Copies of this chain bind each other. A is one copy, B any other.
Amino acid sequence: VVQKNSSEFSRIAGIARLLDQGRGRGVIVGIGDDAAVLRAQPGRLVWTTDSSVQDVHFRCDILSMQDIGWRSYHAAVSDIAAMGAKALAALSALELPVALPDRSVYAIVEGQASAAKWLKCPLVGGNLSRADKIAINTSVLGCVDAPILRSKAQVGDELWLIGPVGMAAAGLGCLLREGPRLRGHAVECCVEAFRRPMALLRQGKGLVGRANSAIDISDGLAGDAAHIAESSRVAVELDERQLSASLPDELLTVAKKLRRTALSFALYGGEDYSLLATGPKVKRPRGAVCIGRIIKGKGVWLVRSDGAREALGRGFEHFGN
């Protein structure tokens, strides 16, 4: 017996219930009209959109539907965190295969709803569409008096890491590894970092008035450092010793189990959604670790422990050949 799905309209009603109709601070009309209506905000509006596509950004065999909803939401809100802004609300356009049962759809929305609650950023509307594969497109609106841009890094700035890097990629490595499943606390930590990343809104706001530039680390440290370098027309120098010292023990443990270096996960593993920022030493906020500096020039450089300098390639590209 093929389970019948509810119609589009009753599905929207079910989704709206899970999301408390999109209610929240500053929300005048949530789910159910042509558009959501929000109270206007002072300062600047910051606004982003992010896609999470099945078999590109996630696989359904290693993540629960709730994880998929949670991750997509945090990934999108993370761009708002990187601007130093407050997240006001989000919209979600879901693409859903016809065969996807109601319980899976609602589980995705439950993951989004938990993330919305955690981040105090209500999901106020969206769109449903058929498609061959699941895709979640999340648009997030935020506000801040003076957004932090990726293009304002200054020569002489320190390079700050806020939050862990490489953990999510190591967690993914554990999940994809053939053979018996790896176990232990360190593995659980990395898998959790992959399944349940966190947008660092509070830490992002803490950068305002301190950082000259910031970006969230979605493509990997090397790739996102390259974005700062290119936008700001400077070079980024990563200090291997400082970076290595900042890596969590759990990452070192898991990297060893996977026969990879922790540094490679840190440099090229994406999807931790930690923040990378630059600013003067005297303004370094608590919780930020200095892992390098901004110098004149181009590109991203790794200064090895022995003093050797090495140009770094970029992280993940979607259409590279």
A positions within 8 Å CB-CB of B? 4-9, 11, 28-29, 32-51, 53, 56-57, 79-80, 82-83, 85, 89, 91-93, 95-96, 98, 124-133, 135, 137, 139-143, 147, 149-151, 214-216, 231, 314, 317-321
Verify B130–A319 contact, CB threshold 8 A: yes
Q: Complex: how many Å from CA A129 to CA B139?
A: 15
Verify A44–B48 contact, CB threshold 8 A: no
Q: How many copies does the complex hold?
A: 2
Residues on B with C-beta less than 8 A from A214 are 34
Verify B151–A51 contact, CB threshold 8 A: no
Residues on B with C-beta less than 8 A from A51 are 93, 95, 127, 129, 137
Tell whether A34 pairs with B83 under 8 Å between CB atoms, given A141-B45, A141-B141.
Answer: yes
Which residue, A36, A151, A318, has most C-beta atoms of chain B within 10 A? A318
Residues on B with C-beta less than 8 A from A133 are 131-132
Verify A7–B231 contact, CB threshold 8 A: no
Verify B38–A318 contact, CB threshold 8 A: no
Residues on B with C-beta less than 8 A from A48 are 34-36, 91, 125
Tell whether A47 pairs with B38 under 8 Å between CB atoms, given A83-B33, A96-B319, A231-B32.
Answer: yes
Verify B40–A40 contact, CB threshold 8 A: yes
Verify B320–A8 contact, CB threshold 8 A: yes
Cβ-closest chain B residue relative to A50: B127
Verify A137–B318 contact, CB threshold 8 A: no
Tell whether A319 pairs with B8 under 8 Å between CB atoms, given A47-B125, A142-B35.
Answer: yes
In the A-B complex, the 3 residue pairs with the closest CB atoms:
A139-B139, A35-B48, A137-B137
Verify B319–A128 contact, CB threshold 8 A: yes
CB distance from A193 to the nearest CB of B (A): 21
Tell whether A56 pairs with B131 under 8 Å between CB atoms, given A7-B319, A47-B91, A93-B50.
Answer: yes
